[in-house]
Amino acid sequence: MSGSTPLHRRTHHAPERPERPERQAVVVTITGRPLSTTLPALEECGLAVTSVLDQLGIVLGRADTPTRERLDLLPGVHVEAEQAVQLPPPDSLLQ
Amino acid sequence: MSLDSTTRADLPTGTTGRTIVVLEPGARGEGEGLLRDVTGIRVQRVGDAPPGSVPGEDAYLDQLGIAILAADPDQVSALGAAAAGTELPVRSCEPEVYVRALGQHTAAVSADETYLAEEPGTDPATLWADSPNATWGIQAVHAAPPAGSRAPWAGSGITVAVLDTGVDLGHPDLAGVVVAHQSFVDGEEVHDGLGHGTHVAGTIAGAHTPPGGQRRFSVAPSARLAVGKVLSNEGSGSSGGVLAGINWAVSLGAPVISMSLGSAVAKGETYLQYYEAAAQAALDAGCLIVAAAGNEGYMPVGSPANCPSVMAVAALDRALLRASFSCVALNGDGGEVNIAAPGVDVYSSYPVARGSYAYLSGTSMATPHVSGVAAVYARATGLRGRELWARVVETARGTGQDAMLVGAGCATVPTRPPA
């Protein structure tokens, strides 16, 4: 195991197209309400769903800041940023 | 730690007078200069010392960023101030303590632990060691049973999900072991290009009798593996990929999910809700998640092992004491260490292209020992989920160290006298 590193870094060069709000990879945890009926509400808030983890009540997706703010208002819905996971290099003494 | 005075009162106990300094990982390369500047001590670089060698006075383990100093009190206080502040990359500064070989301690303690002296190839006056037939790790968890005992269960019928870098599907010691596999890494097959996952998989369910004549290194050789590749061949991934792997493992109904992965956590930082929700859902479905506590030293248990519903595994050294790199229970609310297992100089399978076998150390190596033990209990008792968790923890052997360091102690499979 090792420390985490930022998964999504801002690019510092000028955008080629008109700037759009940055969308971050997020993990949406749903508790106390059915996933199937919650999913449309998430999309309505602007969440771009990438994966539905039906066994866990969790939805992976991408969201900009206004979308996250809308999602945070939904009862039983908790939004967190996805994290990076990184092992040490293979020649490290500790794994 | 203390030594039972009824066994060997002549052995030293407590602190040695030396100080162990752990540098931040980024400062490992500059450790000698840093220590000279702060303390005036010129340390001797140990470098790639072979396992088991004992560093002398004022030694610097450059690969680990750890110095062992015979410093006087003034120098110690300077180091302590550096560790407490943020101006220097010193992670911790703790007194070195005497450790004792298990065999010296256990003979008079309990009949259950007298086996060490009887284990073939093991000198009771030394640390745990690999024998020609079995690694020290599977001896310590009783998977290679003590003399006068047998291990009647080996995890048959139990699927353990391994969420890691994949495995070398062509490794002869894993032939027929992998019953399901899926990659959650874009553009990469499940094949393990790194070695980490193959090592972990071998510790859980490598062949009982490796065809190449290697010593046995698996805790549950009759278990089967579901291999979810959630870390790339560079060892990187995302928590979303880990969650996708957990979701897959739960859908398969794997009673044990082994995760030798994670991220560092700061003091006072709490767990991520999505990991806890996933772990609860897994337990509800009868799937126990076992995860590495982390290798950050005297720092909080990492994520996701810091979730209340994830079993956090510390690493033990050959004396069955907490390995100095193994994270500790500095944060509450899930940040406990639940259990421990061998995690130093662990011999297991490695990709054939990288030499087929390797010794590795870390809580990543301790975790699959516990996963294997859990698989054996799942087979032996039929328990699942929270009940399986309770059984694995309550059958761990206390090692004499505080639960903050090693939880309930060393995970141990059930054994019986010969029929």
pLDDT (tens digit per residue) in B61-107: 654 555 667 767 666 667 766 666 656 677 666 555 333 222 222 22
Q: What is the pLDDT of residue B43?
A: 76
pLDDT tens per residue across span B327-380 = 999 998 999 999 999 999 999 999 999 999 999 999 999 999 999 999 999 999
Answer whether residue B108 shows pLDDT above 90. Answer: no
> What's the whole-number mean pLDDT along residues A17-41?
88
Of A4, A78, A93, the CB nearest to B63: A93
Mean confidence (pLDDT) of chain B: 84
Q: Is B357 helix (H, G, I), strand (E, B) or coil?
A: strand
For the ranges A19-23, B85-89, B270-274, the lowest mean pLDDT is seen at B85-89
Same domain, B311 and B194: yes
Final residue of a structural domain among B43, B70, B97: B97
For B339, the token pair is: 């259990």
Answer whether residue B297 shows pLDDT above 50. Answer: yes
> What's the whole-number mean pLDDT along residues A8-21?
48
Per the annotation, the verdict on B196 as an active-site residue is yes
Final residue of a structural domain among B70, B97, B124: B97
Phi-psi region of B190 (alpha: psi -120 to 50; beta: other; left: phi over 0): alpha
Same domain, B164 and B69: no
Q: Is residue A93 part of a domain?
A: no
Same domain, B197 and B263: yes
Q: How far apart are CA B353 and CA B235, in angstroms?
A: 17
Q: What is the pLDDT of residue B350?
A: 97
- What's the burial of B109, exposed, middle or buried (CB within 10 Å: 0-12/13-18/19+)? middle
> What's the whole-number mean pLDDT along residues B289-304?
97
For the ranges B24-38, B39-53, B80-94, B319-333, the lowest mean pLDDT is seen at B39-53
> What's the whole-number mean pLDDT along residues B2-7?
31
Q: What is the pLDDT of residue B62?
A: 59
Same domain, B359 and B271: yes
Beta bridge partners, B238, equal A84
Question: Looking at chain B, how many residues does it have?
Answer: 419
Q: What is the pLDDT of residue B68?
A: 64
Domain range for B76 is 15-97
> What's the whole-number mean pLDDT along residues B262-267?
95
Q: What is the pLDDT of residue B118?
A: 33
| Shortest Cα distance, chain B CAs vs residue A14, angstroms | 27
- Whether the bond between B304 and the residue before it is cis, its omega within 30 degrees of 0, is yes
Per the annotation, the verdict on B142 as an active-site residue is no
Same domain, B23 and B78: yes
Answer whether residue B276 shows pLDDT above 80. Answer: yes
When divided into structural domains, chain A yields a total of 1
Q: Is residue B272 part of a domain?
A: yes
Q: How confident is the model at residue B14 (pLDDT cuts 50, 70, 90)?
A: very low
Q: Which of B48, B238, B283 to substitute to test the interface with A, most A CBs within 10 Å?
A: B238
Q: Is residue A70 part of a domain?
A: yes
For B261, the token pair is: 């992965």
Same domain, B308 and B395: yes
Q: Is residue A16 part of a domain?
A: no
Same domain, B169 and B42: no
CATH at A63: 3.30.70.80
Same domain, B223 and B343: yes
Q: Return the axis-axis angle of helices B273-284 and B385-394, rounded to nearest 10°.
A: 100
> What's the whole-number mean pLDDT along residues B398-414?
97
* Residues A81 and A25: beta-carbon distance below 8 Å: yes
For the ranges B13-22, B61-70, B112-121, B232-241, the lowest mean pLDDT is seen at B112-121
**List of chain B residues whose C-beta atoms are within 8 Å of the C-beta of residue A88:** 235, 295, 362
Same domain, B77 and B163: no
Domain range for A40 is 24-81
When divided into structural domains, chain B yields a total of 2
Same domain, B76 and B157: no
Query: Against a cut of 0.80, is the pTM above it?
Result: no
Mean confidence (pLDDT) of chain A: 85
Final residue of a structural domain among B97, B120, B147: B97
Same domain, B83 and B146: no
Q: How far apart are CA B364 and CA B258, in angstroms?
A: 10
B166 vs B18, B225, B236, B263, B312, CA distance in Å?
42, 11, 12, 19, 21
Same domain, B151 and B91: no
Q: How far apart are CA B240 and CA B231, in angstroms?
A: 11
**List of chain B residues whose C-beta atoms are within 8 Å of the C-beta of residue A80:** 272-274
**List of chain A residues whose C-beta atoms are within 8 Å of the C-beta of residue B247:** 53-56, 58
* Residues A85 and A78: beta-carbon distance below 8 Å: no
* Residues B375 and B160: beta-carbon distance below 8 Å: yes
Q: Is residue A9 part of a domain?
A: no
B242 lies within 8 A of chain A by CB: yes
Q: What is the pLDDT of residue B44?
A: 72
Q: How confident is the model at residue A67 (pLDDT cuts 50, 70, 90)?
A: very high
CB atoms A95 and B303 under 8 Å: no
Of all residues in chain A, the one with the smallest CA distance to B244 is A53
Answer whether residue B150 shows pLDDT above 70. Answer: yes
**List of chain B residues whose C-beta atoms are within 8 Å of the C-beta of residue A85:** 230-231, 236-239, 241-242, 261-263
Answer whether residue B222 shows pLDDT above 60. Answer: yes
Per the annotation, the verdict on B164 as an active-site residue is yes
**Which residue, among B135, B69, B140, has the nearest Cα to B102 in the 3D structure?**
B140
